[in-house]
Amino acid sequence: MEVAGDPVPQRCRVRVWFGDHVVADYSAEAELAERYAAAMSRRFAGLKVTSEPIPLTEAGPSRRLPGERLWEVAPK
């Protein structure tokens, strides 16, 4: 619950790219987004992973990150 006057936490958008195509696009609070970006960089070493701040003025729904326990699960 936010109290009036509390700062709004910075959110970041993390994207995993396959060439010019985005294959994953999620947003989360900055610290969690950075951990996710690092995990995706390890998992998909050959792909570009970006993490960019989302301007506070940008509104609209975005996809939430998958559960952190899934970040390191290897595909079968």
pLDDT in tens, 21-68: 999 998 888 999 999 999 999 999 999 999 999 887 765 556 666 676
DSSP conformation class of 25: E
Residue 45, Cα to own-chain centre: how many angstroms?
A: 16
Reply yes or no on whether the pLDDT at 76 is more than 70: no
pLDDT in tens, 5-21: 667 778 899 999 999 99
Using left for φ > 0, alpha for ψ between -120 and 50, and beta otherwise, residue 12 falls in beta
pLDDT given for residue 56 in this prediction = 73
Phi, psi of 61 (to 5 degrees): -70, 150
pLDDT given for residue 54 in this prediction = 87
